[in-house]
A and B are shown apart, each in its own frame.
Chain A
Amino acid sequence: MISQNALHHAEKCRFCWMCRHLCPVQHQTGREVNTPRAKGLLLSMANKGTQPFDKDMAQAMYECLLCDACTNDCATGYQPPLFIREARTEAVVNELAPEAVMKLIDNALETGNIYGVEKPSYGQDGTDVLVYIGEVAAIQVPQMAKNLLAVLKKAGVSAKVLANEPASGVMLGDLMGYTEEVRQQAKACADAINAAGLPVVVLDSYDAEIMKQKYPEWGCEIKTDVTTATAYVAKLIASGKLEAKAGTGVQGACHDDDRLARTFHEFAPIRAMAKAAGYEVGEMFSREKLAKSCGTAVAYGYMPALVEKIAASRWEDLKRSGCAAMLTASPQAYLCLSLCVPEGKALVDLYAALV
């Protein structure tokens, strides 16, 4: 059952076609069905009964990164990710979701993360802040998690990491929409964080987004301040607690993480981090509010080949900028960009650069 609100968003498309020029998925596949407006049209037809909501339609709903670039540029002010999420719920309810997707959902429901493996333990029990690592960094980009902790240590911040850190719910929410199962994960996570009673520094912007945007709406808000790791580290730099490094002479461009950019309007901190790490900061196209997604960990989980293409296209942007290094502080971006680092270019974890 698609909500009235979601249908409203799906049906109000004026066919201005602008979203076609922004969708990172459609750019790679070139298929009309991959545009946000096509998804709205499909859903609307399914609602009217002129097209069955079948496996093909479900597949189309999953060929999307939920990066929100289309919303940012929608002339009518509608939000495709809103109805795409609900369409995913519909697909799961009716057992139409692709098999690869169902595998990830089962993992997330059974083990608390999409990878179905245990998260490492950090043995950190500090008293200043609680660092929320997130499953992508913990399992796929472990060095970035360690680097962040090292940066905090260097700045004299005593950090705690939860033993058996619960899932934030963001992965499951992207996979099957915002259902009660997702809210239950969110509640358990909020309870664990609240029990620690420390301000939270969140490494993965995806986790930060759901914590700040959805938790209060779901009645499980985090009672302490929640800050993105990038904003927190930038503050440490600004206050002099974290010393800037000497210039490297290397020109690097910051990859704006899409959720950081569009949900939090946060662009300055990673640039401040890049400068403090000694880089000359250059810029790519499709930055800041127009940030182009380079893929997500969830999408990589069920359509790796497509995500690699999307990441490669981000490297093309870097080449055009003339910069030598792609700078990122996002575990999900790092994961995707590391799939296809072009020769002569470097992928830089900004936390590593600041240690």
Chain B
Amino acid sequence: MNNILVCVKAVPATTSVQVDGQYRLKREGASLQWNIADESALEAALSLKDKDGTVTVVTMGPPKLEAPLQDLLARGCDRVVLITDRLMAGADTRATAGALRAAAKRLGPADLILCGRRAIDGETGQVPGELASALGIPCVSNVEKLEWEKDRLLLHRRLETGVEVLSARGPLVVSVCEYAYSLRLPGILSMRRARGKTVERYSAADLGLTAEQCGLKGSLTKVTAMESKFPGLRNGPKETDPAKGIQALRAMLREVQP
């Protein structure tokens, strides 16, 4: 029996972002969706579960995530947990990893913890490593394929120059690449099974966390300034005669070609 814990994050579905007075992303009002790499991690977990095991999902965010979490039950997850508390607002990756560690401890031992390799809003990709370190277990990042090989996991990790294949023994944290797996839809049977199941809620107090360990207060990095940096206009000349255009492009290619 393999217990898999998947940590997911909801990110704004929009591409236009606003920040508040403390340079935190404004999340109210914006419609949320699961981070794309996290969907990949969810499907990786569900595919492993197809053979054997259970899948528990944990996320940290506002109460309105209950409905999308319920939807994950319909897709075949066994248990879904929402960490939600005003104290948690503004958490950096460290405070987030701290909250996830506390939740993981409370949920009981997991053989495998899966995360997306990065979130499209923060793009730090640091939570998996910090969480692994907090739990004292290894972390393998950027994985695009996971499969059981007897009692070990075979991991295909995408590096800059190629794919490294690793064999791992749990417990460990694995971060999964976006688009590596595409999340299944709710199925008729899993929807029937999910009827009556509910979202479990944890507050900071439930996890034994104090205000100092949470959110903005529990963070070790501070954003001190933020500016909008829209790509600069270059407004180069526009050529309508293809022959002339190709000539100019040729010249530019010659400049950069070795």
Contact = CB atoms under 8 A, between A and B. Distances in A.
B182 A89 contact: no
B34 interface: no
Given A3-B71, A4-B67, A218 B182 contact: yes
Interface in A162-196: 176, 178-183
A200 B181 CA distance: 25
A92 B184 CA distance: 18
Interface stretch (B136-144, B186-194, B208-216): B186-194
B175 interface: no
A180 B70 contact: no
B75 A180 contact: yes
A1 interface: yes
Nearest to B181: A219
B185 A180 contact: yes
B182 A180 contact: no
Q: How large is the interface on A (under 10, 10 to 19, 20 to 34, 35 or more residues)?
A: 10 to 19
Contacts of B192: 93
Contact of B188 (A4, A93, A220): A93
B74 interface: yes
Most buried by A among B75, B182, B194: B182
B185 A178 contact: yes
Contacts of B186: 1, 89, 179-180
B187 A1 contact: no
Nearest to A219: B182
A41 B76 CA distance: 30
B46 to A, nearest CB: 10
Contacts of A220: 182
In terms of DSSP, what is the predominant structure of the interface of chain A? helix
Most buried by B among A92, A179, A220: A179
Interface string B189-209: 011101100000000000000
Interface string B55-77: 00000000000011011001110
Contacts of A4: 67-68
A351 B195 CA distance: 49
A180 B74 CA distance: 10
Given A1-B70, A1-B71, A180 B181 contact: no
B30 to A, nearest CB: 14
Nearest to B190: A180
A183 B71 contact: no
Contacts of A180: 75-76, 184-188, 190
Contacts of A3: 71
A179 B188 contact: yes
Contacts of B194: 1
Nearest to A105: B188
Contacts of A181: 187-188
Interface in A1-44: 1, 3-4
A218 B188 contact: no
Contact of B191 (A89, A178, A218, A219): A89
Given A1-B191, A89-B191, A93-B191, A218 B71 contact: no
A166 B185 CA distance: 20
A20 to B, nearest CB: 30
B68 to A, nearest CB: 8
Contacts of B70: 1
A194 to B, nearest CB: 15
Interface string B164-188: 0000000000000001011011111
Interface of A: 1, 3-4, 89, 92-93, 176, 178-183, 218-220
Closest 7 pairs (CB-CB, A-B): A219-B182, A180-B187, A180-B185, A93-B191, A180-B184, A183-B185, A179-B187
Given A178-B185, A182-B185, 20 more contacts: A1-B70, A1-B71, A1-B186, A4-B67, A4-B68, A92-B188, A93-B191, A93-B192, A93-B195, A179-B185, A179-B186, A179-B191, A180-B184, A180-B185, A180-B188, A180-B190, A181-B187, A219-B181, A219-B182, A220-B182
Interface of B: 67-68, 70-71, 74-76, 179, 181-182, 184-188, 190-192, 194-195
13 contacts: A1-B70, A1-B71, A1-B74, A1-B186, A4-B68, A89-B186, A92-B188, A93-B191, A93-B195, A179-B185, A180-B184, A181-B188, A219-B179
